[in-house]
Amino acid sequence: MKSILELYSTWLDHNSPESLAVAHDDDGSPTRTEPPRPEDGETASLSAQPSTVEPARAVVPPSPVSVTPDSKSRNVESGDISAIRQLIEMKALTSFQLLRCFDYSANLFFHEDELTYYVTLHQDTALSRALKTIDLASAESAFHTFEQQVKRLAARVARRVQLEADNRRLARLVAQSEAEFERLRENLREESEQARSMTARERQVRKDVTQLEVQRVATQAYLGRMGREIQRLTLISKERLPRLSS
């Protein structure tokens, strides 16, 4: 009897309650249907079959999508600015590529002793950024990045230089216009002064002519009177002369 109960318990473990058939009563309420009990004749067959439990399948989560950086970026790392500056001052690096625009420059150097490439960015001859790599393709890619940055910075400087030159040109034109304006105004002032002087002089000449004309007329009248007086006195003088007998 004990073995039958153990077998029955094992059978229940392998058959979940959800798999049991559900019957409905007349009123519609569900009732659980009891599993069939094993018969006595089946005891030997049940005991002969070993109880095998199927192992649970491991649920493997989906592997996340890994985003790997560009291989060229992985090969580039930051360089020691002070050490690279010292190598540049010692002229221990060979220049492969160089782009200089105004006060900005991008350089691609090669260190032959270490077989290392250095990509540098300079501003006002001062080293501002430095990268290093042992791969030429990665070095050229980094140099291209610095090259684009130099071109952007140089474009702003070029625009500033153009505006400064244009402003200087406009300032010269303004100075020339002001000088021309002052010259014309001075000419007009001189012409006005000359015109006033000529008018005053003409007025004075007309006044002098009038006075001289009056003086001439008066002088002529005086001269006529004097002539007549001279004639009168001459006649008187002749009359007073003694008459000589012949």
Structural domain boundaries of the chain?
A: 2-45, 73-154
Work out the pLDDT band at 72, boundaries 50, 70, 90. Answer: low
Work out the pLDDT band at 57, boundaries 50, 70, 90. Answer: very low
Distance between CA atoms of 202 and 206, rounded to whole angstroms? 6
Average pLDDT, the chain: 77
The pTM assigned to this predicted structure is 0.46
Pick 82 or 3 by higher pLDDT. Answer: 82
User: Which pairs with CB-CB distance under 8 Å and at least 24 residues apart come from 152-158?
Assistant: 153/101, 153/102, 153/104, 153/123, 154/101, 154/102, 154/104, 157/101, 157/102, 157/103, 157/104, 158/101, 158/102
Q: What is the pLDDT of residues 215-244, one digit of tens each?
A: 999 999 999 999 999 998 888 888 877 766
Instruction: Name the most confidently modeled range: 2-6, 9-13, 162-166.
Output: 162-166
Q: Which helix (H) or strand (E) holds 146?
A: helix 136-239
**Backbone angles phi and psi of 149, in degrees to 5:** -65, -40
Distance between CA atoms of 106 and 143, rounded to whole angstroms? 7
Work out the pLDDT band at 47, boundaries 50, 70, 90. Answer: very low
Q: What is the pLDDT of residues 73-99, one digit of tens each?
A: 568 888 888 888 889 888 888 989 999
Pick 124 or 204 by higher pLDDT. Answer: 204
